[in-house]
Structure 1
Amino acid sequence: MAATAGGKHKMGFVGATSYMIGNIIGSGIFITPTSILMRTHSVGLSLIVWSLCAVIAILGSLCYIELGTSIRDPGCDFAYICYVKWYPIAFAFMWVSVLLTYPAVLAIQAEAFGEYLVEGLQPIICFDGPNVIYAKKLLGFALLWLLTWLNFFSLKTFASRFQIIATVAKLLSTGLVIVTGFYLLIFRGWTTNLENPMSGSIWKAGDLVLALYGGLWAYSGWDVLNYGSDEIEHPKRTMPLAMLAGIGIVAVVYVAINVAYFVVLDVDAMSDSHAVAATFSQKVLGNFSFAIPFLIGVLLCGSLNSSIFVGSRYMFAAARQGHLPSCFSCVNQETDSPRAAIFAQTLLAIAVSFIGDLDNLIGYVIFAIWFQRVFTMLGLLWIRYKKIPVHPDAIRMPTALIVFFMLLSASLVLIPVVQEPEVTAIGLVIVASGMIMYFIFVWPKNTPVFLQRINEATTNVTSIVFSALPDLKKFDSLDQNDISPAVNCSPNAKSDDFTEITKRISRFDTDSNGTEQPRQRF
C-alpha cells in the first residue's frame, strides 16, 4: 500500500486509488445533476453526458499519466508549463487561480450549503419569494465566515477529525441514495421514469457543452496525483492503474446515483429542484427526509473547509515566492495560520458569488481549468517536438491522443462563447490581466520604488490587524546560492532552478496542493 524510500513516505496503488476517489467524489454529484438535465431535457441524454464526462476524464488521465511520469515535479499544470519555460502563461494561470478559480469553488460550495440547508428547513421554516435567495446567501456566507475564523487558529486536530466526519457523511449520503433508488427499481418496480429515456432530448452543441461543464465539475480532481507524482511509489506502474481504477469507480457511482434519482423523480420534478438529493429524500424517506440534507450539509462543510485550506495556501505560497504582495504571506506565529490569505480568499469568494448563479460559477471554474489544459497539452507536444529530456521511466502515449485531447479541451473553451459569452469574456479578461501583471511586475529586474513602498505599508497594516508577520521560512532552509537572482520567473531562469526551488518549498508546505511557485522579487 505504501513504502518508504529515501526517508520519504510513498503512496502505493491502494492509497493512490483511495486518494483519487476521495478527491473526486464531493459536492459536485449533489449540485450538478439538475443543471445537466436542464441542458439535455431527458433521462437518457443526461446519463450519456455523465458517461461522456467519464470518458473525457479517462482520456485526460492518459495524457496526464505521461506528464506525471515524464516530469516528476509537484505542481501539475503549473510545473509542466514552467518546464517548457512558458513563464508568462504559468504566471497568468496562477493569477486566474488566485482571483477566480479558488474563490469560485468556495462560492459554489457555500451556495450549495445554503441550498440544502434551506431545503432541509422548509418543513420547519417557510421560505418564499426573495427570502429564499437571501436565506441561501446568508447561510452560505455564515458558514464561510465561521470556517474562516476557525482556520485562523491551529486546526490540525479539528480539521482531521472533521474531515473524517465529512467522509462518513459522503459515504452515507451516496450509499443511502443508491440503495434506496435501486431497491425501489428492483423490488418495487418503479420504472415509469425510465421507460422512454430519450424522450424530449435537445441536441444543441452549446447546451451539450454547458451540460458537460456541470459533469466535468463533478469529475474535477482526476489529476490530483499529478500534484505530487514524486510522492508515489513506482509511478510508472501505480499512476496509470490508480488513475484509471479511481475514475472507473467514480463513474459507476455517479451513474448509479443519477439512475436512483430518476427512479424517484421525473424530468420536471428534477429540473425544478435546487437540491436534488433533498427532493429525493422528501419523496421516499418521509419523516427521515431531513437525513439527506443534513448529511450533505456536513459533507459540504468538509469540502468548504478543505477548499479554504487549499485556496489560502495557494495564495500564501504565491505571495511567499513574490508573485503577490507580501502582505498575503503574513502568518500568525502561534498558530502558523496564513490569516491574510484566508481572509482575502473569503472576501474574493463573497464577491465572486454575486457574479452569477451556480451554473455561471461552475462555468467560470471549468473554463479556467480547461483553458489551462490546452496550454499543458501544447507544452507536452512542444517537449516532443524539441526533444526536451524527461524522466527515463516516462510512459509515452500516442501523439494522436494528445492532439485529440488538446482539441477537445479547446472546444470546451470555445463552443460556450456563443451560448454564454460573459463566462468566456470574464475568464479571458482575468487571464489577460495576469499576463499584464507578469510583464509589469515580474519581467523587470526590479520592482518600482513606489510599489515597494505600497507593499511595505500594506504588509505593516496587515501584520498589525491579523497579528501576523511575513513568512520568511523559505530563506531559513536556503543558502546564498539558492536565493540568487537566477531562481525566478523571468525568461532567463533555468529549468533546474525551478525544479530545485519547487522541491525545497514543497517540503515546507506539502498540503498546498501543487501551489509551489518559483521565487520572485516583490
Structure 2
Amino acid sequence: MAATAGGKHKMGFVGATSYMIGNIIGSGIFITPTSILMRTHSVGLSLIVWSLCAVIAILGSLCYIELGTSIRDPGCDFAYICYVKWYPIAFAFMWVSVLLTYPAVLAIQAEAFGEYLVEGLQPIVCFDGPNVIYAKKLLGFALLWLLTWLNFFSLKTFASRFQIIATIAKLLSTGLVIVTGFYLLIFRGWTTNLESPMSGSIWKAGDLVLALYGGLWAYSGWDVLNYGSDEIEHPKRTMPLAMLAGIGIVAVVYVAINVAYFVVLDVDAMSDSHAVAATFSQKVLGNFSFAIPFLIGVLLCGSLNSSIFVGSRYMFAAARQGHLPSCFSCVNQETDSPRAAIFAQTLLAIAVSFIGDLDNLIGYVIFAIWFQRVFTMLGLLWIRYKKIPVHPDAIRMPTALIVFFMLLSASLVLIPVVQEPEVTAIGLVIVASGMIMYFIFVWPKNTPVFLQRINEATTNVTSIVFSALPDLKKFDSLDQNDISPAVNCSPNAKSDDFTEITKRISRFDTDSNGTEQPRQRF
C-alpha cells in the first residue's frame, strides 16, 4: 500500500509477535485437549502430540518466511500462487476463503464470544428461551462491529496496539490456569495423574493422525503475517523473529496449560469434559470459577481482531490483483487501512452466521486450506526451478524442508478422504465452483460494458463513503506523474475527483487487455 512506504503505519516486532500469538491462541486450547486425549488415551502421548504439532508449525512458518520475504505482496497463499501466474487455482481457493472460510471463522468466534459472555452474565441477568440465542448473536455482533471500527484506523496506532493489549490479556488468562496447575504440582504435591504418563497409550496410526490433525487446527494461524507482509517494518528481520517467537511462546503455553489440566484432572475426567477449562476452574478455583467465561471472552477479542486483519487483507489482495471488484481494493490514504474489505468481511460474517451449523461449514472448507498450501509449496519450488526473480532481501530455506512440508500438507488433505469422504467431496465441489467462476468472469478479455459501469459506480461510492482510493496492482506500474496524488474522496468531492477515481479504474482495465493473463474487470 502506498501509504506505508515510509513505514508510518507499519508494525514492528512487538506488534507482529502479538498478531502471531493472538491469531493462534483461541478457544481451541480449551476444547482441543479433550479430542486429542480421546485419540491418545494417555497424558504422555497427548503431550507428545502437542509438541509435535508445534514442530510442524515451526517447519511451516520457515517455508512461509521465505515466501513472505521473497514476495512482498499481501494476501498470503493467494498472492504467492498469483506470482507464478496460476490464476485459475488462486481464484478457486480465493473464492472459498473470501466467501466462506474467513467469514465463517469470524462468525464462530463472534458467537463464541457471545456464548461465553452470556454464560458469565447468567448469575446477574436471566437469559431464557429464544432470548439466549438473540443475546449471543447481538453481543458477538457488537464486538465484531467495534473491532471493525478499530481496524478502520492506522494499524500501528490503533489495531496493532489493541492486539498487543489483547495478547497480554490472553496470556494472563491462560497464565491463570498454568500458575494454578503448577502451584498445585510443586507446592501441594498433586502428582498422581502424572506418575505413569504413558499408561494406557493407544498407538493406532489412524487415531494418532487424527489427534495430530486436531492439534494442528489449534496451531492454525501461524501464517497471519503473510497476509500483510507489506505492512511490516523490515520484513527480513521482523518476520522470522516474530513468527518463531510467536510460535515458540504459543508452544510453551499449550504444553504448560495441558500439564496444568492433567495435574487437576485425570484422563477419564478430561475425556468426559466438553469444556476442560470450565471443569478445571470448578475443581480448583471455587467461587472464582465464574471469571473463566469472561477470561475466554477476552481471549476471543484478540482472536477476532487478528481474524479481521487476515480476512480483510486476503480480500484486499484479491481485489488488488483484479480477481474481485476494484471497490474492495479501496484504501484510506491517511491510515492505509483497506476499509472496504474490512467492512465487507464483517457483513459476510454476519450473513454466514445465519446459514446453519457453522462447525459443519468449517469442516467442508478446512481441507481447502491445506490443499492450497500444497499448491503454494509447489509454487515456491516452481520459482526456484524457473529462477523467477524475487525480492533481493529474500531469506532462502532448504529445498528439502519445502518438499517435506508440501508432502505433509498433502497428507493432511488425504486424511479426510479416508475418514470423511462426504466432507471432502463437498469441499472439492466448492473449490471447483470457484474455478468455474474464474473462467466465466475473469478469463474473458472483454468484460461486458454493464459490469464495467457497475464496477466504476461501486468504486466511486466506496471511495466517498470510506474516504479511500482504489489501490490496483496494475496501477502501481503506471507513470505516477500522469495522475494527481491528491484526490478528494469526501462527500464534497468535485467532479474532477470522480474523474480521477474512474481514470484509475479505466487505466487498470485498459492496461489489462492484451496481457499474457488478463485480469477481471467486473
CA–CA separation in structure 2 for the residues paired with 1:9 and 1:518: 32
> 1:45: Cα distance to partner?
2.9
Q: Deviations over 1:101-127 (max 9, x none)?
A: 211211231233244335434656788
> 1:56: Cα distance to partner?
0.6
8 Å Cα contact 2:78-2:314 kept in structure 1: no
CA–CA separation in structure 1 for the residues paired with 2:243 and 2:511: 20
Q: Deviations over 1:176-209 (max 9, x none)?
A: 1110010011111222333343444444545444
> 1:416: Cα distance to partner?
1.4
8 Å Cα contact 1:107-1:350 kept in structure 2: yes
8 Å Cα contact 1:35-1:214 kept in structure 2: yes
What is the aligned-residue identity percentage?
A: 99
Secondary structure of 2:511's counterpart equals coil
Gap change, CA 1:422 and 1:104, over 3 Å in 2: farther
Gap change, CA 1:236 and 1:20, over 3 Å in 2: same
**Stretch of structure 1 that moved more, 483-492 or 96-105:** 483-492
Secondary structure of 2:489's counterpart equals coil
| Structure 2 partner of 1:362 | 362
> 1:100: Cα distance to partner?
1.9
> 1:447: Cα distance to partner?
1.7
Q: Deviations over 1:237-275 (max 9, x none)?
A: 655454334322321111001111221223343334343
Secondary structure of 1:58's counterpart equals helix
> 1:350: Cα distance to partner?
4.7
User: What does 1:475-514 correspond to in 2, within 5 Å?
Assistant: 479=479
Gap change, CA 1:333 and 1:224, over 3 Å in 2: closer
Gap change, CA 1:165 and 1:127, over 3 Å in 2: same
Gap change, CA 1:371 and 1:187, over 3 Å in 2: same
**Stretch of structure 1 that moved more, 310-319 or 405-414:** 310-319
8 Å Cα contact 2:467-2:489 kept in structure 1: no
8 Å Cα contact 1:340-1:462 kept in structure 2: yes
Cα RMSD for the two superposed structures: 7.9
User: What does 1:228-239 correspond to in 2, within 5 Å?
Assistant: 228-229=228-229, 239=239
**Stretch of structure 1 that moved more, 2-11 or 284-293:** 2-11
Gap change, CA 1:468 and 1:490, over 3 Å in 2: closer
8 Å Cα contact 1:501-1:518 kept in structure 2: no
TM-score (norm 2): 0.76
Gap change, CA 1:74 and 1:353, over 3 Å in 2: closer
**Stretch of structure 1 that moved more, 439-448 or 104-113:** 104-113
| Structure 1 partner of 2:73 | 73
Gap change, CA 1:254 and 1:446, over 3 Å in 2: same
**Stretch of structure 1 that moved more, 295-304 or 169-178:** 295-304
Gap change, CA 1:349 and 1:518, over 3 Å in 2: farther
CA–CA separation in structure 1 for the residues paired with 2:511 and 2:447: 30
CA–CA separation in structure 2 for the residues paired with 1:325 and 1:517: 17
Gap change, CA 1:356 and 1:515, over 3 Å in 2: farther
> 1:27: Cα distance to partner?
3.9
CA–CA separation in structure 2 for the residues paired with 1:351 and 1:232: 31
Secondary structure of 2:474's counterpart equals helix
Q: Deviations over 1:322-345 (max 9, x none)?
A: 423466568999999978755653
8 Å Cα contact 2:39-2:210 kept in structure 1: yes
> 1:289: Cα distance to partner?
1.2
CA–CA separation in structure 2 for the residues paired with 1:514 and 1:282: 67
Secondary structure of 1:437's counterpart equals helix
Gap change, CA 1:376 and 1:487, over 3 Å in 2: farther
Q: How many equivalent pairs are there?
A: 522
> 1:510: Cα distance to partner?
26
Secondary structure of 1:283's counterpart equals helix
8 Å Cα contact 1:80-1:379 kept in structure 2: yes
8 Å Cα contact 1:278-1:292 kept in structure 2: yes
Gap change, CA 1:380 and 1:420, over 3 Å in 2: same
CA–CA separation in structure 1 for the residues paired with 2:173 and 2:69: 35
> 1:433: Cα distance to partner?
1.7
Gap change, CA 1:148 and 1:251, over 3 Å in 2: closer
8 Å Cα contact 1:53-1:212 kept in structure 2: yes
Q: Deviations over 1:17-44 (max 9, x none)?
A: 5554444334442343333334444333
8 Å Cα contact 1:486-1:493 kept in structure 2: no
8 Å Cα contact 2:181-2:260 kept in structure 1: yes
Q: Deviations over 1:132-155 (max 9, x none)?
A: 888756754565467668878999
CA–CA separation in structure 2 for the residues paired with 1:214 and 1:161: 31
Secondary structure of 1:279's counterpart equals helix
Gap change, CA 1:53 and 1:146, over 3 Å in 2: same
8 Å Cα contact 2:23-2:302 kept in structure 1: no
Q: Deviations over 1:204-240 (max 9, x none)?
A: 5454444333322332232334445566676556554
CA–CA separation in structure 2 for the residues paired with 1:431 and 1:172: 40
CA–CA separation in structure 2 for the residues paired with 1:347 and 1:32: 29
Gap change, CA 1:8 and 1:139, over 3 Å in 2: closer
Gap change, CA 1:137 and 1:485, over 3 Å in 2: closer
Gap change, CA 1:364 and 1:186, over 3 Å in 2: farther
8 Å Cα contact 2:443-2:518 kept in structure 1: no
**Stretch of structure 1 that moved more, 323-332 or 445-454:** 323-332
**Stretch of structure 1 that moved more, 396-405 or 22-31:** 22-31
**Stretch of structure 1 that moved more, 406-415 or 220-229:** 220-229
**Are residues 1:377 and 2:385 paired?**
no
| Structure 2 partner of 1:250 | 250
> 1:52: Cα distance to partner?
1.4
Gap change, CA 1:151 and 1:355, over 3 Å in 2: same
CA–CA separation in structure 1 for the residues paired with 2:311 and 2:513: 9
> 1:430: Cα distance to partner?
2.3
| Structure 1 partner of 2:106 | 106
Unaligned runs of 5+ in 2: none
| Structure 1 partner of 2:449 | 449
> 1:429: Cα distance to partner?
2.1
Secondary structure of 1:289's counterpart equals helix
CA–CA separation in structure 2 for the residues paired with 1:197 and 1:498: 69
8 Å Cα contact 1:442-1:490 kept in structure 2: no
Q: Deviations over 1:449-504 (max 9, x none)?
A: 45457767888999999999989999799648999999999999999999999999
Gap change, CA 1:302 and 1:516, over 3 Å in 2: farther
Secondary structure of 2:3's counterpart equals strand
Gap change, CA 1:168 and 1:352, over 3 Å in 2: same
8 Å Cα contact 2:324-2:520 kept in structure 1: no
